[in-house]
Amino acid sequence: MRTGIALAGAMLALALPAASSAQPTARVACSRDVPATIGGAHKCLGPGEYCATRYERQYERYGFICSTRYRPPRLRRK
């Protein structure tokens, strides 16, 4: 009987996340640029910055276009 209770307690302890192991994530403040999340990562968007054409729809959400007029492609405002 005791082993069943101990086993249930151990399983419960594994299922609950430990509060001390959670690390805070620091966000970098964008001074002049637009803060954005592109491809799951925090980015500071501004005109002339490098961009990836595969994230074109995400850039449009923040008011930018990934212009292929340049090599490599660069951001410009809509």
Give the tens place of pLDDT for each residue, 27-58.
668 888 999 999 999 999 999 999 999 999 99
Pairing between β-strand 74-77 and β-strand 41-45 as defined by DSSP bridges = unpaired
Look at residue 65 and tell me if it is in a domain.
yes
Look at residue 6 and tell me if it is in a domain.
no
Alpha-carbon distance 65 to 14, whole Å? 46
Please name the helix (run of DSSP H) or strand (run of DSSP E) that holds residue 35, with its range, or none: strand 34-38
Domain hosting 37: range is 27-78
Look at residue 35 and tell me if it is in a domain.
yes
Contact 66, 54 (CB under 8 A): no
Q: What is the pLDDT of residues 8-25, one digit of tens each?
A: 555 655 555 555 565 555
Look at residue 14 and tell me if it is in a domain.
no
When divided into structural domains, the chain yields a total of 1
Look at residue 20 and tell me if it is in a domain.
no
Q: What is the DSSP letter of 76?
A: E
Look at residue 41 and tell me if it is in a domain.
yes
- Of 52, 43, 38, 48, the closest CA to residue 76 belongs to 48
